[in-house]
Structure 1
Amino acid sequence: MTGRTETGTGHGADRSAPLVRVRGVTKGFGGVAALKDVDLDLYPGEIHALMGMNGAGKSTLVQVLSGVHQADGGSIGVDGHDRSGLTVRKARHLGIAFVPQRRELVMGLSVAENIMLGDLPRRGGFVSRPQMLSRAREALAGLGIEIDVRRTAGELTVAEQTMVEVAREVRRGGRVLILDEPTACLGAEAAGRIRTLVRRLRDEGVAVVYISHYIDEVLGLADRVTVLRDGRVVRSAPADGFDAGELVRAMAGRDVVSHRPERPAPADEIGLAIRGLTHGRSIRDFTAQVRKGEVVAVLGPAGDAQSYLFDLLSGRRRPLSGELHVDATPVPMGRVPASLGSGLRCVTGDRRALGLVPGLSVDENLMLADDRFHRRRLHRRGELARRSAARRKDYGVVTLGGDPPVGSLSGGNQQKVLLAKWLETAPTACFLEDPTNGVDVAAVADIHTLIDALAARGVAVLLASSSAEEAMRLADRILVVRAGRTVAEYDTTAITRDELVATALGGAPQ
């Protein structure tokens, strides 16, 4: 443990006393309990990881802390005073800030404007641009962040956007920062920059609540870990009191192991063929052949060539050159109907923006790609519920009750809905973009099982991933890409995980 017995610097807080004390908090929705008698202490100068499976209650707890929801029972104390019944405004006034996984910057405004939004300095009735730029630079420099404040937010990398949001909240007086999956979808270097920032916040006396599904990251970063399961705290202890296996068991209530099962040997026929695919510098002369029943992984740093394959293969964008064949039939590129009509199913890695319709219900999203229900415009609710029930069961989709909006589900359940939506439409070939991004270890194991079953059915599966472990677990062959080009191809039985990582990070192919 660090920083628990000294008087804090940074915000001048006493690090021996909790800044926030939660006692016996409960919260339910529609008669279903999401939080049950939760206790939590947050200390200045401490990184406190909040862990749990999707649906364990993490999101509800941080929404109660940040004033989005009010608790049904229990108490919340801040600075030793009862602050139960927090609203968003009250929470912000007390210095409790939430930085969500989905960035909340105004992308068309500059970094300086985003940092100073709501507190723009004025002179003579007009915004003083020199003062705005100066104060924004000070906010970034105070956290060791080097970003040109004149750039627009939309030009920044995901990691830089996160840093700007953190700097904005600290400048507004944030003393408790809740960070939700801040390193999701980031490569190793960018994730390292975020972790460095988080340590800086701790050293400045900020109480950091850190939510992540990356167990190794949490154990290497956090001072304390609290595990939620089914809405209850099942364990809260210093991070050095856990190992990876113990943490998984605490989260899941059981051992979770994802072993690759025996799959039928791939057929000789090619189910998916890509030849000479080029799109500027993003993808250069990319070629891949996937046999029916085979899983081929495209592995590279986050943001590299594999990040552009969804748009190109789905038909959302037209490449500069290249050919696509599904089941030996040429498919016109740059046309979504042609891609769908070929039997190719492309599952996006951005389930919120491109994969699901958050305002529609779970059942509507499950059946949205089914032609029968598309023609009937989903009006027959009884038949919709009956047919979607089988998909809920087969894909392990869990809801708190009824048929809620899909946007209310945990990340793992949303991902299962997205997979069921497309994989139950009789695909010939599939492209899966980071199918386990932002989901917990149990959901990862479930999704891996679904992909195994897909290949066993004879579907040609192309998998884009930034995880060497996932590629080794699922794929028969792995294509390593760097700077838009394929630099190596491996049979997974002929390479170790360490050799694969070394190649992906820039080493010479083994």
Structure 2
Amino acid sequence: MTSLDSTQAQTTGMPILALAGVSKSFGGAAALRDVDFDVRPGEVHALVGMNGAGKSTLVGVLSGAHNPDGGEIRFDGEQLSGLTPRRAREQGIATVPQKRDLVLDLSVAENLFLGDLPRRGGWVGWKAVRSQARETLQSIGLDIDERMPAGALTAAEQTMVEIAREVRRGGRVLILDEPTASLGGAAAEQVRDLVRRLRAQGTAIVYISHHLDEILDIADRVTVLRDGRRQLTVPASELDMGSLVYAIAGEHVESERPAARSEWGETRLRLDAVNDGTRLRDLSLEVRAGEVVAVLGPAGDGQSALFSLLSGTARPDTGTLEVEGRQVAWGSVAQSLRSGLRCVTGDRLANGLIGALGINENIVLAIDRRTGRPWVDWKALRARATVIRDRFGVRTIQADPPVGQLSGGNQQKVLLGKWLDGDPRVCFLEDPTNGVDVHAKADIHHLIDALAARGTAVLLASSDVAEVQRLADRVVVVSAGRPTAVLDVADTSRDELVALTVGGTSRD
């Protein structure tokens, strides 16, 4: 365990959970190779790496979902063998997955006690459930009404309730898998504040995130995996963004902003006084040919409503949508598509792809298959899918695996290829690099650059400030659902953009 000992002097306390020399293979392919990893009480230890680096397998070993082929696992200094998910939970090792796992129709209290309701004489003691739930929430600083249905909570509150459930169950080691992946601004900071409070209370936290600025902000130590091997374990204070990216990718990943364009073409997309009665209030904006316009504001302040409106799955109370000067009817997917507008969801597996289908079938789902014959020409569609896969950089070992088995980056490229092949005149992109690694992120940024360079009008809703600064020409600032400013990105600092995402103001 020399590699574990090499950082021991940098932190206080002995590890509560430690792996030494752990290896794991699947079907002859090595997912982990002689990996050391540990986490200590009162520490946030970040685990980072590109998709396919071995993070999920390592989490599986820590949580008992995978038995290692070699190496050892120690908990509180004692060796564990035959670790299972149930035994891991009994030890106090808990995993909070990226995909939320609450029953939305049940109350917060019921979710906290899910599968573990206290009973007396065959009856559930509801008074005790509510009282203990309230105590759990208060003990970790959460001001959430335990009687509320989980479906009425914000996304950040739902994530925090899931974390609270594992705390109530006695979690001493919390493995948090992308806890802020779908959050931005103030919402993500709420979750990070909870993580800091738990750290202060002595909880050991394994933190997984693709948001590298978040890693540098919250982690005490960072472990980088690449190709199943541990590349480094160092205090976060010894890293900066450049060195962290290099450790993850094994090379310097360039994603420089292209040369500024001084002029754009005609207006391709126009929204005028759009009001949906809840999240958007009098939103007006326009996007010109070859321009990238971002909508930015605190999480929940309207930008999340744009996908359902522009794609035709919802309609506002008032306002108009024009594509290339022609008004488009609200609430019609067919009208939205016929107008030439292409919308790419930020939740690729829930709303964009069918996980059980292969890449080829997913990527041609949006192609009109009518040929005048009573059958589908699958040979022609597969050939078309191959061309799209090559153009959008989808790389796999198998010829056509189910999309649900792909890395986040490859899934996102399949989704982009499905909707953006053929260079649409107008497109809306919702969090286009959510949950992808640094290499895939750079690839996707270049794809968006190329779209704009060929004249596509791009409307972007992203919770990633660095991404907005990298991609956008202009930013429409939304606060409480209303547009409050339109800024040229070239004239706006990163600090100003960050302030806007948490509800601050620009150029105070």
One fold, TM greater than 0.5?
A: yes
Greater Cα offset, 370-379 or 323-332:
370-379
* 2:169 equivalent in structure 1: 172
Which residue identity is paired with 2:133? Answer: A
**d(CA) in 2 for partners of 1:508, 1:50:** 34
* 1:335 equivalent in structure 2: 332
Question: How far apart are 1:233 and its partner, in Å?
Answer: 0.7
Tell me if the contact between 1:363 and 1:388 (Cα under 8 Å) persists in the aligned partners.
yes
Tell me if the contact between 2:186 and 2:298 (Cα under 8 Å) persists in the aligned partners.
no
Question: How far apart are 1:266 and its partner, in Å?
Answer: 5.2
From 474, 478, 481, the counterpart of 1:477 = 474
* 2:76 equivalent in structure 1: 79
Tell me if the contact between 1:267 and 1:292 (Cα under 8 Å) persists in the aligned partners.
yes
**d(CA) in 1 for partners of 2:112, 2:230:** 35
From 117, 122, 125, the counterpart of 1:120 = 117
Question: How far apart are 1:501 and its partner, in Å?
Answer: 4.0
Which residue identity is paired with 1:320? Answer: D
Tell me if the contact between 1:298 and 1:480 (Cα under 8 Å) persists in the aligned partners.
yes
* 2:40 equivalent in structure 1: 43
**For the structure 1 residues 403 and 70, does the alpha-carbon distance in structure 2 shift closer, same or farther, using more than 3 Å as the test?**
farther
Question: How far apart are 1:90 and its partner, in Å?
Answer: 2.0
Tell me if the contact between 1:224 and 1:238 (Cα under 8 Å) persists in the aligned partners.
yes
* 2:223 equivalent in structure 1: 226
Greater Cα offset, 208-217 or 436-445:
436-445
* 1:412 equivalent in structure 2: 409
* 1:507 equivalent in structure 2: 505
Q: What is the CA deviation profile of residues 34-81 of structure 1, one whole-angstrom value per residue up to 9, with x for unaligned ones?
A: 222222122222211001112211112112222333333333232333
Q: What is the CA deviation profile of residues 160-208 of structure 1, one whole-angstrom value per residue up to 9, with x for unaligned ones?
A: 1122111111221212110011122334333222222212222333221
Tell me if the contact between 2:423 and 2:451 (Cα under 8 Å) persists in the aligned partners.
no
Greater Cα offset, 368-377 or 142-151:
368-377
Question: How far apart are 1:111 and its partner, in Å?
Answer: 0.7
* 1:10 equivalent in structure 2: none
From 442, 457, 461, the counterpart of 1:445 = 442
For the pair 1:199 / 2:196, whether they are aligned, the reply is yes
Gaps of 5+ in 2: 1-6
Question: How far apart are 1:378 and its partner, in Å?
Answer: 10
Tell me if the contact between 2:184 and 2:464 (Cα under 8 Å) persists in the aligned partners.
no
For the pair 1:344 / 2:341, whether they are aligned, the reply is yes
Secondary structure of the residue aligned to 2:366 is coil
Question: How far apart are 1:374 and its partner, in Å?
Answer: 10
Which residue identity is paired with 1:506? Answer: G
For the pair 1:282 / 2:309, whether they are aligned, the reply is no
Greater Cα offset, 251-260 or 395-404:
395-404
Tell me if the contact between 1:263 and 1:452 (Cα under 8 Å) persists in the aligned partners.
no
**For the structure 1 residues 174 and 30, does the alpha-carbon distance in structure 2 shift closer, same or farther, using more than 3 Å as the test?**
same
**d(CA) in 2 for partners of 1:267, 1:405:** 40
Calculate percent identity across the aligned residue pairs.
Answer: 59
**For the structure 1 residues 132 and 245, does the alpha-carbon distance in structure 2 shift closer, same or farther, using more than 3 Å as the test?**
same
Greater Cα offset, 461-470 or 380-389:
380-389
Greater Cα offset, 78-87 or 89-98:
78-87
**d(CA) in 2 for partners of 1:234, 1:506:** 39
Tell me if the contact between 2:52 and 2:227 (Cα under 8 Å) persists in the aligned partners.
yes
Alignment TM-score, normalising by the size of structure 2? 0.92
From 251, 258, 263, the counterpart of 1:261 = 258
Secondary structure of the residue aligned to 1:372 is coil
Alignment TM-score, normalising by the size of structure 1? 0.91
Tell me if the contact between 1:54 and 1:413 (Cα under 8 Å) persists in the aligned partners.
no
**d(CA) in 1 for partners of 2:23, 2:205:** 22
**d(CA) in 2 for partners of 1:222, 1:144:** 20
Question: How far apart are 1:503 and its partner, in Å?
Answer: 4.9
* 1:20 equivalent in structure 2: 17
Q: What is the CA deviation profile of residues 390-410 of structure 1, one whole-angstrom value per residue up to 9, with x for unaligned ones?
A: 333322223343422212222
* 1:459 equivalent in structure 2: 456
**d(CA) in 2 for partners of 1:371, 1:246:** 46
The two structures, once aligned, show a CA RMSD in angstroms of: 2.7
Tell me if the contact between 1:263 and 1:456 (Cα under 8 Å) persists in the aligned partners.
no
**d(CA) in 2 for partners of 1:499, 1:146:** 29
From 373, 388, 391, the counterpart of 1:391 = 388
* 1:70 equivalent in structure 2: 67
**For the structure 1 residues 305 and 367, does the alpha-carbon distance in structure 2 shift closer, same or farther, using more than 3 Å as the test?**
same
* 1:370 equivalent in structure 2: 367
* 2:4 equivalent in structure 1: none
* 1:498 equivalent in structure 2: 495
* 1:11 equivalent in structure 2: none
Tell me if the contact between 1:4 and 1:45 (Cα under 8 Å) persists in the aligned partners.
no
**d(CA) in 2 for partners of 1:166, 1:450:** 36
* 1:424 equivalent in structure 2: 421
Question: How far apart are 1:250 and its partner, in Å?
Answer: 0.1
**For the structure 1 residues 337 and 84, does the alpha-carbon distance in structure 2 shift closer, same or farther, using more than 3 Å as the test?**
farther
Greater Cα offset, 256-265 or 374-383:
374-383
**d(CA) in 2 for partners of 1:467, 1:302:** 11
Gaps of 5+ in 1: 8-14
Tell me if the contact between 2:109 and 2:133 (Cα under 8 Å) persists in the aligned partners.
yes
